[in-house]
Amino acid sequence: MIEIRDLKKCYGERTVLDIPALTVKDGEALALAGPNGSGKTTLLRLLSGLLKSSGGTVKKPGKVLYMPQQAYAFKGDLIRNVTLAGCDRSEADRLLEKLELSALAHKKATSLSGGELQRLSLCRVLSVDCELLLLDEPTGACDARGAELVINAIREYRSKTGCTVLISTHSPVLALNAADRLIILNSGRIEADGKPKEILTSPENEWTQHFIAGWKI
Ligand SMILES: Nc1ncnc2c1ncn2[C@@H]1O[C@H](COP(=O)(O)OP(=O)(O)O)[C@@H](O)[C@H]1O
Ligand SMILES: [Mg+2]
């Protein structure tokens, strides 16, 4: 379970995240949406432990995996890029196939396109078990097919590990298909919190209604 109380992140005078209370149940998948700069990455980085809060408390599971917004590759081919996280070769092959990267398995990972690189980063993260998975815009660089593959891989990982998942996203398709719950951030504050379908079809306030109207399906 994640339990957040009075969590704040400030830069100088500016408060970029302010969450009085948020609880995420074990095994729940939460999508985080909101405009650029609304605090999605800040919340994920605070939960990952990479960023220090300006106040408040966070209770979370011990084994956390975090995939940053900017995908990256290490030297060597795609297989090496997955196995260096610690899994064996057959698991790396399986994940690369699942993300439709098998044909590129022996290519230099640094030569991949943005969407391919993002899928490779996901393979590396999903090759290890965890209790809390944090994904920052995992379909941000993907085309429609790539996004579908990412969504399927997240769903499979969830059913295999039973982990809790937080995914920041600009994709309503991802929120609807990979998450049980959707939170919308507005300038660092939670503006809406509920089932993705309900928020998408009947937003609870005017700001959310306006935000959802601009969301492409
Ligand atoms: N190191 C920093 N110094 C000052 N402001 C920052 C820093 N990091 C992030 N911010 C600000 O915090 C706000 C939230 O950023 P972020 O969490 O990355 O938003 P999102 O992921 O929703 O686009 C933004 O306005 C951003 O400019
Ligand atoms: Mg971000």
Q: Which ligand places an atom closest to the C-alpha of 33? A: 1
Q: Sheet of 2-11: strands edge to edge?
A: 14-24, 2-11, 55-59
CA atoms of 167 and 204, how far apart (whole Å): 21
Q: Which ligand places an atom closest to the C-alpha of 43? A: 1
pLDDT band for position 215 (50/70/90)? confident
pLDDT band for position 48 (50/70/90)? very high
Domains, the chain, in order of start with CATH, read 2-190 (3.40.50.300)
58-82 pLDDT, tens per residue?
Answer: 999 999 999 999 999 999 999 999 9
Please check the confidence at residue 216 and state whether its pLDDT lies above 80. Answer: no
Task: Tell me if 30 sits within 8 A of 182, measured CB to CB.
Answer: yes
What DSSP element (H or E) covers 96?
Answer: helix 89-98
Question: Roughly how many angstroms between the first and final C-alpha of the chain, as a whole number?
Answer: 31
User: In this prediction, what percent of the chain has a pLDDT beyond 90?
Assistant: 97
Tokens of 151: 């969504």
Give the pocket of ligand 1 (CB within 6 Å): 11, 16, 34, 36-42
Atom 25 in ligand 1: residue holding the nearest Cα: 37
